[in-house]
Amino acid sequence: MQIILGITGGVAAYKSAELARLLANQGHRVRCILTEAGARFITPLTLTSLTGEPCYGANPDQGEWRANPSIEHIELARWADLVAVVPATANILGKAANGLASDLLSTVLLATRAPVLWAPAMNTGMWEHPAVQANLVRLRSFGHAVVDPGEGVLACGEEGSGKLAEVAAIAEAIQVHGTPKLMSLSGRRVLITAGPTREDLDPVRTLTNRSTGTMGIELARAFRDVGAQVQLVLGGELPAPWGVETIRVRSAQQMLEASEACWVGADGLVAAAAVADQRPESSASQKMKKVEGAESLVLVRTPDILARLCAARRPDQWVLGFAAESEKHLEHASEKLKKKGLDAVLVNDVQGGRAFGAQANTLTPITAQGPHPPLGPLAKDQLARAVVQWWAGHLAGRPA
Ligand SMILES: Cc1cc2nc3c(=O)[nH]c(=O)nc-3n(C[C@H](O)[C@H](O)[C@H](O)COP(=O)(O)O)c2cc1C
């Protein structure tokens, strides 16, 4: 994405440098525009160094707004896929809500047709003032997104609301607001299962597998970004993605119960969890003492979550499964597709530790028509986006 990052005159301006670096590391192109007050808090040199792009000042005689001042604001407005103002002062919110264009940033905000996102930060009294709140209502009515500030101790020493939201959350909101929505998925409810399940032997020992849940979490983000309402049933230790309703589970039984509850209201299922096939027949309530010599463990089957959800499936619901195979990938995945009646299976090759915990991966989609061209190798976030695009295309071509 090509992002314009507007930085206005608040103490939180130093955090915009961290945001600029995070966005640039995620592969976005970031051009900063400082207001006159913003430039008192952070320097253009810091921002150009972090982004590798020019940083623009408030007026034609500052920074890069030099060569052709009559059109530069329009070029920047057109260049942007998204304009984010972080931090946003009460002043810039008031200007933008009322269509004022007195410097480069406010002019670009008025000229652009790109999505606009605000991350306000200010003293609690300012934040709660009816004028500021009325301006935010107006900006939201233009389709702008607002990442509300949190609570905490503010730079002015007061404690209350008005503290800039976390940088990571702002970056996620930029991703969501800047991604074009897909007709076939926008507003649709998608249930995603992700991560490993754990089956306890006793209070300290557990049976699990090497899945981290990364791929499922990236799929949740990718479906969220194109407009789907995602419910994520998540095992493992990784943090839940921002803006996604997440239900934390531990065992296969818990994952089944949470998934069944969500499935009733869902349009589609992405079963990306690595569910343990077996669990110990019994789980001790106290730590088991070690004994000398060989021991045996009786394992019983856990519920087949995918089979149970497929059995309760309505004709209008779709199901995507995953298959992690170490040999005869396509053959085994085609069997799974038929046996469980899935719409598609995405196969990954887990031989030699590939896929689990790895950064890059390849997935081959299989449908009733046979195998499709492989997606990847790609980093898991990009691979998730490729899966969503592929599936949205497939859904768009399906008879309703
Ligand atoms: C030290 C200092 C800190 C400030 N912090 C904030 C702030 O966090 N939020 C805010 O809305 N205004 C803050 N202001 C006031 C703005 O800088 C002032 O309204 C300015 O005109 C904003 O201009 P701009 O919106 O063009 O950047 C602060 C001012 C000073 C001197």
Residue 183 included in any domain: no
Same domain, 69 and 156: yes
Domain boundary among 178, 203, 231: 178
Single-letter residue type at 302: T
The β-bridge partners of 125 are: none
Domain of residue 295: give its range.
189-396
Question: Where residue 155 sits, what CATH number does that domain have?
Answer: 3.40.50.1950
Residue 98 included in any domain: yes
Closest CA to 117 of 169, 47, 173, 167: 173
Same domain, 318 and 342: yes
Residue 1 to residue 149: CA distance in whole angstroms = 24
Question: Domain count of the chain?
Answer: 2
CA 194 to centroid of ligand 1, rounded, Å: 43
Residue 24 to residue 50: CA distance in whole angstroms = 8
Q: Whose CA is nearest to atom 29 of ligand 1?
A: 10
Q: For 85-98, how does the pLDDT look when each residue is reduced to its tens digit (9 = 90+)?
A: 999 999 999 999 99
Q: Which atom of ligand 1 is nearest to the CA of 37?
A: 27
Q: Is 131 left (phi over 0), alpha (psi -120 to 50) or beta?
A: alpha
Is the minimum distance from the CB of 91 to ligand 1 under 6 angstroms?
A: yes
Same domain, 126 and 215: no
Q: Are 43 and 194 in contact (CB under 8 A)?
A: no
Residue 184 included in any domain: no
Residue 32 to residue 19: CA distance in whole angstroms = 11
Is the minimum distance from the CB of 121 to ligand 1 under 6 angstroms?
A: yes
pTM of the model: 0.86
Q: Which atom of ligand 1 is nearest to the CA of 89?
A: 11
Mention every residue, 6+ apart, whose C-beta is less than 8 A from residue 99.
110
Q: Whose CA is nearest to atom 14 of ligand 1?
A: 10
CA 8 to centroid of ligand 1, rounded, Å: 7
Number of residues in the chain: 400
CA 89 to centroid of ligand 1, rounded, Å: 6
Q: Can the peptide bond before residue 377 be classed as cis, meaning omega within 30 degrees of 0? A: yes
Residue 20 included in any domain: yes
Q: How far is CA 135 from CA 33, 34, 118, 161, 244, in A?
A: 22, 21, 12, 17, 27
Q: How far is CA 350 from CA 140, 274, 291, 380, in A?
A: 46, 12, 35, 14
Same domain, 155 and 22: yes
Same domain, 170 and 225: no
The token duo for 382 is 């990009």
Site to probe by mutation for ligand 1, drawn from 89, 100, 126, 158 as the one with most ligand atoms within 8 Å of Cβ, is 89
Is the minimum distance from the CB of 10 to ligand 1 under 6 angstroms?
A: yes
Question: Where residue 352 sits, what CATH number does that domain have?
Answer: 3.40.50.10300
The DSSP 8-state label assigned to residue 289 in this structure reads: P
The DSSP 8-state label assigned to residue 99 in this structure reads: T
Q: Which atom of ligand 1 is nearest to the CA of 103?
A: 26
Same domain, 146 and 110: yes
Q: Are 132 and 93 in contact (CB under 8 A)?
A: yes
Same domain, 297 and 392: yes
Q: Can the peptide bond before residue 180 be classed as cis, meaning omega within 30 degrees of 0? A: no
Q: Which atom of ligand 1 is nearest to the CA of 9?
A: 27
Q: Whose CA is nearest to atom 5 of ligand 1?
A: 10
* pLDDT given for residue 19 in this prediction: 98
Is the minimum distance from the CB of 252 to ligand 1 under 6 angstroms?
A: no
Same domain, 142 and 211: no
Residue 233 to residue 254: CA distance in whole angstroms = 9
156 is catalytic: yes
Is the minimum distance from the CB of 231 to ligand 1 under 6 angstroms?
A: no
* pLDDT given for residue 149 in this prediction: 97
Domain boundary among 159, 178, 197: 178
Residue 162 included in any domain: yes
Phi/psi at 346 (nearest 5 deg)?
-105, 120
Residue 321 included in any domain: yes
Is the minimum distance from the CB of 156 to ligand 1 under 6 angstroms?
A: no
Q: For 163-199, how does the pLDDT look when each residue is reduced to its tens digit (9 = 90+)?
A: 999 999 999 999 999 999 999 999 999 999 999 999 9
The token duo for 359 is 């950064």
Site to probe by mutation for ligand 1, drawn from 42, 56, 91, 136 as the one with most ligand atoms within 8 Å of Cβ, is 91
Mention every residue, 6+ apart, whose C-beta is less than 8 A from residue 122.
10, 89, 90, 132, 149, 162
32, 156, 262, 310: the catalytic one is 156
Q: Which atom of ligand 1 is nearest to the CA of 88?
A: 11
Same domain, 243 and 307: yes
pLDDT, one tens digit for every residue, the chain (400 residues): 999 999 999 999 999 999 999 999 999 999 999 999 999 999 999 999 999 999 998 876 555 555 555 577 888 999 999 999 999 999 999 999 999 999 999 999 999 999 999 999 999 999 999 999 999 999 999 999 999 999 988 777 878 889 999 999 999 999 999 999 999 999 999 999 999 999 999 999 999 998 899 999 999 999 999 999 999 999 999 999 998 999 999 999 999 999 999 999 999 999 999 999 999 998 989 988 888 999 889 999 999 999 999 999 999 999 999 987 767 777 888 888 999 889 999 998 766 555 555 667 899 999 999 999 999 899 999 999 999 999 999 998 876 5
Start-to-end CA span in the chain (Å): 32
The token duo for 67 is 């060569």
Q: Is residue 388 helix, strand or coil? A: helix
Q: Which residue has the tokens 């997935």?
A: 363
* pLDDT given for residue 328 in this prediction: 77
Same domain, 161 and 219: no
Residue 265 included in any domain: yes
Same domain, 154 and 238: no
Q: At what angle do helices 69-79 and 104-111 cross, to 10 degrees?
A: 50
Residue 165 to residue 350: CA distance in whole angstroms = 39
Residue 170 to residue 139: CA distance in whole angstroms = 17
CA 163 to centroid of ligand 1, rounded, Å: 13
Domain boundary among 142, 158, 178: 178
Same domain, 174 and 196: no
Residue 182 to residue 87: CA distance in whole angstroms = 30
